[in-house]
Structure formats: C-alpha cells, structure tokens
Amino acid sequence: MQTRRDFFRKAAALSAGLLLQDMIIGCTSARSPTILVVSGWQDVNIGDIAHTPGLLHVLETFLPGSKIILWKPSRSEQVHELLQASFPAVRIIYGSVDSHKNTDNREVADAVNEADIMLHGSGPFLVGADHLDFWIRQSGEKPFGVFGATLENPGEYHLGILRKASFVFTRETLSIDHLKRAGIEGDHIRFAPDATFFMHIRDDRKAGRFLEENGLEERKFICVIPRLRITPYYKFRPDNAGWSDERIAFVEELNQRTKEQDHAKMREAMVAWVRETGNKVLVCPEMTYQVDIMDELLIDPLPVDVKSYVIKRGYWMPDEAASVYGKTHTVLSFECHSPIIAAATGTPFFYLRQPEDTIKGQMYYDLGFDDWTFEIEQTRGARIAGSLREVWTDYPKALARVRANMDKVGEIYSDRVDMMKSLTG
C-alpha cells in the first residue's frame, strides 16, 4: 500500500525530472549567437592579412559554437582560399558601402539581418567606419563593438560611431587616452591587443621545404625585416594611393634621408650574429614592396664574410611566415606585425620602432616587452646587437618570457569575449 510519504517522494522525483528535462531542452534549443565580423583591409601586407585569422581564432576559442560571417573589404583569391581552408565554417561575404551608406551586395544586407552583433577587427584606425554606420542604420539598434584597433585622434565621424558602440577594445592603452580626451570613457573601453597575437594558422610543409633548400636549421638562424619610414603606397596602387605630388615628394625625401641610418643599426646586429654564432640570416618581407629594398638596405652593404650567410625570401602568406618564425631563433623587424606573428609561435623578437609607425607600438610596452622594443632614433646599433647577444646567451629565459607574456594575452582575450557574451545572450 502506498503511504502518503511515498506519494510525495515520487511526486517530487517526477517534478525534478520534468524540470531537468525542461532545462536540457532549453539548453539544446538555445540559439548560438551569429557574429558579423568586418576585417581584412588589404592583402599586400601579411600583418593586415593576419588580423583576420587571429580574430576568428579568438572567437572560435572563447565563444565556441557561435556562427561567424566575415565581411571582408579587400578581395584576394589567395587570401580567400587561405581563410576558407582554415575556417571552413565561416561564411565570407564581400560588398562595399557607398557614400549614401547603401551596399552593392544583397548578401551584406541579409547578414546584417541575421547577425546578433557586429565586430570591427584590428586595424590602424576605424577602417570599417562605413561598414559600422551601415550596421547602425540597418540593424535596428543591435549591439556592435571594436576589437583591437588603434584609435588615435579620431575625427567627429568616427567619434559619432564610437559613442554608440557597446564596447571599444583598443589595441594599445594610448588610444584609451585619446578617446577619453574626446569624451568617450567607461568600463566598456578596454585594452585588447592586436588580434594577430592569436593567429594560429601554419604552412609547415611549404616552410619546411624552403628551410631545407636553404640550409636553415631550427633555431640556428634569425629573421630580419626592413621597412621605410612611410610605406610608399603610391608605387603599387594604380591611383597613387590618392596622394598629391606634394605628399609623394615629402615621403620620398623622408624615406631617402632615413633609410640608411635606420638599417645600418639592424645590420650591426646581423654582423654580430653571423660572426659570433656562425649561423645564418634570413631577410624576409612583411609587405610586398620590401622585396625590392632588401639588397640595397640589408644585404649589399654587409661585409663580404657576413654576406655569404644571408638568404632572401620573396613575399609570402602569413601561414608560411608563421611556420618559419616558429623555427627561427629571433625575429628582428622594423615592421610591427612580424614580431607579433613570431610571438604567437613562441619565438623571441625585437621590434625596431620608427616614429612614423603610429602609436600602435605602445602595445609592446603594455604587454611587458619593453626591452625588446627599440625606438630607432634613440637606439644605437650596438645596443640592438647587445640585446640579441643576451637572448642567444640565455635562450631558455627568452623563450619562457614569450610564453608568460602570451599567457597574459590569452587571459585578456578571454575576459574581453566574456564582456561580449552578455550582449549576445
């Protein structure tokens, strides 16, 4: 005979079971957020290319299960294939926004309707301002934000967009000060390093073949990357990059006046490396134009006994560059993003910073890489060579430092994505 106590015990068990069933159904039927990412500003620079896979990897790591649509402003079949092979679940769309904030691709409008949130990727400024403005006008006040961009002295158009953002993550802390002076501040303004720090794609097969063909042994060569003070876009863009004759003349004069004094300091480190370790140097590019200045600035002026240890590499994709940087001893670069790609592989690096290269270099100080960052006008070549000597003298210490600081980067990304989650629930 069933007692009153048995009845209530069974009823409670049945009620708990139904509640658990409801919870399971609710969890399994909950829709994962759809994120519209605008990133990929140009394809003549492995750093600019690397922003995008870095950010996509941040999202797939800390927001798993989310659906991602990539709205890519620049179009290169090679980069498209690279991204699609690395992120097969990501839908890639293209389409511009005109002066009236209309798009030429219906897919873009459909993506805006489908997405729960829009994310502007890393860049030198609010490059996708028109894309964000299109979102604001078309999305019905759905949230959007910026992930890892430099926002130096933003103009009123950009400020108007940033004031409406649900979050703004700048890639260095100086941009936070610039926003504060413009009246934009709050807990939703945070530091998040350039997403390139999380780029994980590799091409080990292609890199391995190149290293073997050139006798480059693991951790027994360094990579060096040249750079002019101002990138001469007018030389490889059909419209002269929209620059006036006066602007071109200014850039030409500046680059001609500074290129030798800058690169002589890097060569001093190259000479010390070759003569003291007996190991090789790989001169490689971050941008397409740098292939044409390697000989003039880094190879031809070298002493004969050093020059025979130097190898050149043509322009490449970031996945192959990452695989090579993962095998090199140290990366020395005037460009900002090759050191970041090296750090993502666990390799020590030096960033030789030119004053014209914007405030983005502050991120190296923000992450604790102070003594691997060299302000080139305040630095002698002997100091760069001496710092490189310290790295090869105690290499395990240098490797451990990269690992520790990269752990900090991962923690920052995790925290920033947690902030985003509350907007996509």
As averages over each run of 10 residues, the pLDDT of the chain (425 residues) reads: 37 35 36 92 92 97 96 94 96 87 87 96 96 93 96 97 98 97 96 97 98 98 98 85 91 97 98 98 96 98 98 97 98 98 98 95 96 97 98 98 97 96 80
Say if CB 186 and CB 395 are below 8 A apart.
no
Distance of alpha carbon 260 from alpha carbon 264, whole angstroms: 6
Q: Smallest Cα–Cα separation from 326: which of 416, 412, 216, 174?
A: 216
Q: Which residue has the tokens 């863009």?
A: 237
Could you tell me if 227 and 318 lie in one domain? Answer: yes
Sign for the pseudo-dihedral over CA of 14, 15, 19, 22? positive
Could you tell me if 149 and 168 lie in one domain? Answer: yes
Could you tell me if 87 and 165 lie in one domain? Answer: yes
Look at residue 26 in the predicted model and tell me its pLDDT. 36
**Phi/psi of residue 103, nearest 5 degrees:** -105, 150
Q: What's 72's domain CATH number?
A: 3.40.50.2000
Could you tell me if 235 and 362 lie in one domain? Answer: yes
Sign for the pseudo-dihedral over CA of 60, 207, 193, 369? positive
What's the distance, Cα to Cα, between the start and end of the chain in Å?
49
Rounded (5°) CA angle 371-309-401: 25
Beta-carbon neighbour count of residue 137 at 10 Å?
A: 12
Number of separate domains in the chain: 2
Give a yes or no: residue 1 inside a domain.
no
Say if CB 90 and CB 70 are below 8 A apart.
yes
Could you tell me if 239 and 377 lie in one domain? Answer: yes
Say if CB 88 and CB 53 are below 8 A apart.
no
Angular region, 186: left φ>0, alpha ψ -120 to 50, beta rest: left
Give a yes or no: residue 12 inside a domain.
no
Query: Which residues are CB-neighbours of 240 under 8 A, at least 6 positions away?
Result: 234, 248
Domain holding 318, by residue range, is 204-393
Give a yes or no: residue 5 inside a domain.
no
Could you tell me if 136 and 265 lie in one domain? Answer: no
Look at residue 21 in the predicted model and tell me its pLDDT. 36
Could you tell me if 227 and 354 lie in one domain? Answer: yes
Could you tell me if 239 and 338 lie in one domain? Answer: yes
Look at residue 8 in the predicted model and tell me its pLDDT. 32
Q: What is the 3-state secondary structure (H, E, C) of the chain?
A: CCCHHHHHHHHHHHHHHHHHHHHHHHHHHCCCCEEEEECCCCCCEHHHHHHHHHHHHHHHHHCCCCEEEEECCCCCHHHHHHHHHHCCCCEEECCCECCCCCECCHHHHHHHHHCCEEEECCECCCCCHHHHHHHHHHCCCCCEEEEEECCCCCCHHHHHHHCCCCEEEECCHHHHHHHHHCCCCCCCEEECCCHHHHCCCCCHHHHHHHHHHCCCCCCCEEEEECCCCCCCHHHCCCCHHHCCHHHHHHHHHHHHHHHHHHHHHHHHHHHHHHHHHCCEEEECCCEHHHHHCHHHHHHCCCCHHHHCCEEECCCCCHHHHHHHHCCCCCEEECCCHHHHHHHHCCCCEEEEECCCCCHHHHHHHHCCCHHHEEEHHHCCHHHHHHHHHHHHHCHHHHHHHHHHHHHHHHHHHHHHHHHHHHHHC
Look at residue 30 in the predicted model and tell me its pLDDT. 52
Could you tell me if 55 and 166 lie in one domain? Answer: yes
Give a yes or no: residue 187 inside a domain.
yes
Q: Smallest Cα–Cα separation from 233: which of 245, 253, 248?
A: 248
Residue 279 structure tokens: 């190991």
Reported as a single tens digit per residue, the pLDDT across 394-417 is: 999 999 999 999 999 999 999 999
- Give the amino acid at 338: S
Could you tell me if 115 and 152 lie in one domain? Answer: yes
Look at residue 4 in the predicted model and tell me its pLDDT. 34
Query: Which residues are CB-neighbours of 34 under 8 A, at least 6 positions away?
Result: 66, 67, 68, 69, 114, 115, 116, 117
Give a yes or no: residue 21 inside a domain.
no
Beta-carbon neighbour count of residue 101 at 10 Å?
A: 14
Could you tell me if 132 and 70 lie in one domain? Answer: yes
Give a yes or no: residue 289 inside a domain.
yes
Could you tell me if 166 and 212 lie in one domain? Answer: no
Give a yes or no: residue 401 inside a domain.
no
Say if CB 163 and CB 184 are below 8 A apart.
yes
Distance of alpha carbon 37 from alpha carbon 144, whole angstroms: 10
Give a yes or no: residue 403 inside a domain.
no
> With b meaning 16 or more CB within 10 Å and e meaning fewer, what string describes 18-27?
eeeeeeeeee
Q: Is the pTM of this model over 0.85?
A: yes
Query: Which residues are CB-neighbours of 230 under 8 A, at least 6 positions away?
Result: 251, 254, 255, 356
